[in-house]
Amino acid sequence: MGIIEKKKIEGILSGYKKLSIATVCSHSALQIFQGARQGKVHSIGICTKDRLEFYKSFPHARPDEFLVVDSLADVPVEELVARDAIVVPHGSFVEYVGEKLDGMAVPVFGNRRSLQFERDRMKMFSWMGKAGLRIPKTMKPEEINGLAIVKFPGAKGGMGYMIVKSEKEYWEKVGKKKALIQEFIVGVRAYPHYFHSIFSEAGYKTAYGHVELMGVDRRVESNAEEIARAVAAGGNVPLSFTVVGNASMVMRESLLPSFMDIGRNVCNSSKELFGGMHGPFCVETIVTEDLDIYAFEISARIVAGTNVLHHPYAEFTHGEMVSTGKRIAQELKEAFRKKKLNEIVY
Ligand SMILES: Nc1ncnc2c1ncn2[C@@H]1O[C@H](COP(=O)(O)OP(=O)(O)O)[C@@H](O)[C@H]1O
Ligand SMILES: [Mg+2]
């Protein structure tokens, strides 16, 4: 299925009399609903029966309304349009819905083309290259010489990724499965999250607005995080990267200008490649002992690291704690008021 024409989405938007915010009940949904509530925007949770109890259990972060579905991959497009909803895509949303998102006849916050770039590793690399980011080398099996990380298709939260040290080990462990082999970067992982706005003048100026730094987090991964204990105890355990949670971090302040440049370059290159990004996004980086910043992925939407609601950088920008969920509601409300939703929604 091809991507739906922008005109069709504009047609749908022109029928909207009010604004509501919808997302799938997973990933960062509680934060998105809380943000909508703080901004006094009606919120809609797309939810399966088995998750209802959980998503009803937080009075300040539950959606105002639930649309119950059999599978989270079935987005009830017509019901959403009937409720004047803008869909906020998050990591699980992108994973469950996959390519169907391209054709979905409902307005999506941001630019759905950015999610095509997130989905396709080759497109992602071309984007990161255009942004001038320093990226880990991609290798063929015969080029493996030292630590390499092997990644399988689909964002599964790092699940199943492997480390190999030689071509021989690669063929033994991975075989003919389709995989990406990348130089393993040794350093500290840091995941800066940003927000691009066409209205705000905070942050760094981009080719089509401003980009704010909202926060920085670190993914807490099993078993990578705690493997030192097993090794110290004499275990010989392979390293793995299944994401279990996130923790907030602050950066050495002298690194922050480089992170701001990275955010701006990603926005500017997105403008050239596919018309620009709006709202939240994240660049996944590793900072080496020489303070070189390697970027290995861009998430072109809200990331789970923003669920750590308290980040100082958003507070430095807004003078108070503003979560990415609240920032989304603010931006959509301003666009709605100024009749500019079609500029930040596709
Ligand atoms: N080039 C690399 N060097 C070292 N560690 C890496 C590299 N690429 C990924 N990782 C580790 O693997 C995890 C998952 O990788 P990523 O490509 O972000 O997969 P996902 O699509 O699941 O988010 C990262 O959070 C990081 O811990
Ligand atoms: Mg990632």
Query: Treating both helix axes as pointing N-terminal to C-terminal, what angle do 112-119 and 121-130 enclose, rounded to 10 degrees?
Result: 110
Q: Flag whether 166 is in a domain.
A: yes
For the sheet with 65-68, list strands across it. 65-68, 42-47, 20-24, 85-87
Q: How many CB atoms lie within 10 A of CB 309?
A: 18
Q: Which atom of ligand 1 is nearest to the CA of 159?
A: 22
Asked if 55 and 164 sit in the same domain, the reply is no
- With a 6 Å cutoff on the Cβ, whether 132 touches ligand 1 is no
Asked if 175 and 195 sit in the same domain, the reply is no
Asked if 203 and 178 sit in the same domain, the reply is no
From the list 188, 217, 220, 225, the residue with the least C-alpha distance to 309 is 217
What pLDDT sits at residue 158? Answer: 76
Asked if 287 and 158 sit in the same domain, the reply is no
Asked if 179 and 198 sit in the same domain, the reply is no
Question: How many angstroms does the Cα of residue 273 sit away from the middle of ligand 1?
Answer: 24
Average pLDDT of 259-283?
A: 98
Q: How far is CA 311 from CA 64, 123, 215, 308, 316, in A?
A: 26, 31, 5, 7, 9
Question: How is residue 143 written in tokens?
Answer: 């080029």
Q: Which atom of ligand 1 is nearest to the CA of 284?
A: 18
Band (pLDDT 50/70/90 cuts) for residue 214 is very high
Going by their DSSP bridges, the two strands 188-197 and 65-68 should be labelled as unpaired
Q: Flag whether 66 is in a domain.
A: yes
Q: In whole angstroms, what is the distance from residue 300 CA to residue 280 CA?
A: 7
Question: How many angstroms does the Cα of residue 297 sit away from the middle of ligand 2?
Answer: 6
Asked if 142 and 253 sit in the same domain, the reply is no
Asked if 122 and 176 sit in the same domain, the reply is no
Average pLDDT of 264-284?
A: 98
- With a 6 Å cutoff on the Cβ, whether 19 touches ligand 1 is no
Of 144, 151, 244, the one to substitute when testing ligand 1's pocket (max ligand atoms within 8 A of C-beta) is 151
Q: Flag whether 85 is in a domain.
A: yes
What pLDDT sits at residue 75? Answer: 96
Taking CA atoms only, the protein residue closest to ligand 1 atom 1 is 184
Q: In whole angstroms, what is the distance from residue 227 CA to residue 229 CA?
A: 5
- With a 6 Å cutoff on the Cβ, whether 219 touches ligand 1 is yes
What pLDDT sits at residue 153? Answer: 80
Q: What is the mean pLDDT of the chain?
A: 96
Q: Flag whether 1 is in a domain.
A: no
Average pLDDT of 314-329?
A: 97
How many structural domains comprise the chain?
A: 2
Q: In whole angstroms, what is the distance from residue 202 CA to residue 235 CA?
A: 50
Q: What CATH number corresponds to the domain at position 202?
A: 3.30.470.20
User: Domain residues for 178?
Assistant: 138-183
Question: How many angstroms does the Cα of residue 299 sit away from the middle of ligand 2?
Answer: 7
Of 124, 133, 161, 293, the one to substitute when testing ligand 1's pocket (max ligand atoms within 8 A of C-beta) is 161
Cis peptide before 342 (omega within 30 of 0): no
Question: How is residue 101 written in tokens?
Answer: 């998102």
Asked if 168 and 50 sit in the same domain, the reply is no
Asked if 339 and 263 sit in the same domain, the reply is yes
- With a 6 Å cutoff on the Cβ, whether 149 touches ligand 1 is yes
Q: Dihedral through CA 276, CA 282, CA 284, CA 285, nearest 10?
A: 90
Of 225, 296, 299, the one to substitute when testing ligand 1's pocket (max ligand atoms within 8 A of C-beta) is 296
Q: What is the pLDDT of residues 14-70, one digit of tens each?
A: 999 999 999 999 999 999 999 999 999 999 999 999 999 999 999 999 999 999 999
Which residues are bridge partners to 206 per DSSP? 209
What pLDDT sits at residue 223? Answer: 93
Q: How many CB atoms lie within 10 A of CB 288?
A: 13
What pLDDT sits at residue 156? Answer: 67
Q: What is the pLDDT of residues 145-166, one digit of tens each?
A: 999 999 988 656 678 889 999 9
